[in-house]
Structure 1
Amino acid sequence: MKPFFWLALLGLGLSACVPQAVRPQPPAVELLGFNLISLDPFSGKAEFDLRLRLTNPNAYTLPLLDSTLTAELAGAQFRLVLPGIELPTSSPREVQARLMVPVAEGTRALATLVSGQSTRFRLLGELRVQLGPATVPVGPLTFVDRDVRLELAFQPPAFRITGLSLEGTTLRVGLEVQNPNPIGFTLSGPLRVQVGGRSVAEASLNLPLAPKGSSRGEFRLSLNGFPGVGGISLDLGLTAQIPGILEQPVHQVIPGFLR
């Protein structure tokens, strides 16, 4: 029995000599920027750019590895990958990360942000640190907990008549629309043709517009009797819509002429 006793004791002594990975102090994380890149209801996702400042409180360089964290917006949780970076001692470093938010899961948060209101943002989870041959987790912790809002002003789409011609009692209208916003939406509502201030034809418009995108369409409208004389114009009483997120009236009157 004695040999086994001494071997066990020797094993305990050797294990005590093996250095253990020291868990470092977590870096301080500050959210410097939270900006919308695009909100595309047709692809079903919104993309945000986050700018973060990280400060290492340890007395040694902290090599951060790519870390998958949880970003929480208005109570809904999404995945965010923080890119790896070496943090020198007490010298802040800035990093950028992209946050993808599915429109279906993030409807409440997106509606709040698009309307210009603030919502709560939290960044939590574990950071991965490389210390020698070991990968050491730091956390789980809440690294950011604050309100965010977007400086976003809706800009009305730009309309251009590309064609306006009369074929018997049918009026052909060509229309091009450009969306200057980082938000995509559907334009819907009545398109009325007016001659001398009187409505002579009407059609229903339903036009999808991608973020920063454009769309062209041609419409055939039946005239309501003789159009009479006077200047011709298109009266657009439309609404830019993303169900549950955006409902913005868009009204424009565009002068034109028959070709």
Structure 2
Amino acid sequence: MIRTILITGLDGCGKSTLFYRLAGEKPDHVALITLPHIDEDSLPYDSTIRKQAQLLNDMSRQADENNWSDLKALALFGSMLLYQQLVHEMCTPFTRILICERHPLIDPLIYARFYAERLTPGYLNREKTDYYNATYGELLSFIVGLLPIKSGGDYALEIFTFIRDTFKNSASPDKQLTKLFKTALPDKIFFLKAAPEILFDRIASRKLAEPHEQLQVLALLDKTYDVLFEGIAAQDKIPIEYIDASRFEKLDSFYDRLLDEITKSN
């Protein structure tokens, strides 16, 4: 039985640095999955989703470069749909612990608060939607094939509609999402938490900012995580631990503790 640990948090909290360190120091019985940016180099040589992973990463990069919220939503959602296949490919018979950066039953519920309203008919641009279909048609067709819908070939618009209809009223991981993503909640959740002002200062120097990386949006997302975790802790009895990410020394201390725990767990 593989134990799943989720490490998540808002942009700027230190997740990427932590996973970079884990990739070089984790024991062999621990597997890693990063989302929404998929580590293409870590995929097995015979991966069946390498092309999709590359295209999703390209899509996410283009969305950031152009500040296209709708395209970013496509990339985020598409990466989450690959989660279960990533589990299958990244885990081996020797895997005892899976540590994931973001999880399809947790983080989409948060980011839908920002992106869903940007997928409404009044916001979407027909010219851009046609461009997405032309540029990423093969990938979007693949994504639509994973959804419980009948496609008419207008892939981008169909995915936008599905995201909006699925997440607009979802406040907690329900049976519909469990069936869609073919997975269960993680066994343990670590949330790297720092004040939105601190996180915004950290990401302000980045060359490319994601559409949701605004101070007021970070504050909204932070509160939404708190509400979601309160419900999960009460209803699903999943242990959730908040990690102080306001100072890098605190993050280093957490990393050392985590590495020690997973090393001894085999």
Output the TM-score relative to the length of structure 1. Answer: 0.23
Q: Which has the higher contact order (CA 8 A, sep 6+)?
A: 2
More helix by share: 2
More strand by share: 1
